[in-house]
Amino acid sequence: MANHKSSVKRIRQEKKRALHNHYYAKTMRNAVRKLRATTNKEEAVALFPKVQKMLDKLAKTNVIHKNKAANLKSSLALHVNKLG
């Protein structure tokens, strides 16, 4: 158990932040999954900017690594462009 009031508070804050990060990371994974499952070009083109924005925001707040966001955006762009 923590011995300082500040460390007890820090533990509380970290739990809350971890829960917050898990929620947004899971939401991002579901959005990426939905976009990859899309076979309609118009739907994919409409959905791609929203997913891209979500990835950029999560990378900015260090929920995911910036290179992971870049790799996901790249692969999703390839997927959207391949759709016919």
* CATH number for the domain that contains residue 73: 1.20.58.110
The pTM assigned to this predicted structure is 0.85
Looking at the structure of the chain, the number of domains it has is: 1
- Residue 21 domain boundaries: 3-80
Q: Across residues 33-56, what is the average pLDDT?
A: 96
Q: Using a pLDDT cut of 90, give the percent of the chain over it.
A: 95
Q: Cα(20)–Cα(30) distance, rounded to whole angstroms? A: 16
What is the mean predicted confidence (pLDDT) over 56-69? Answer: 97
Average pLDDT in the 57-61 region? 97
CB burial of 8-22 (b: ≥16 within 10 Å; e: otherwise) equals eeeeeeeeeeeeeee
Give the number of other Cβ atoms within 10 Å of residue 26's Cβ.
10
Nearest Cα to Cα of residue 30 among 49, 62, 55, 56: 55
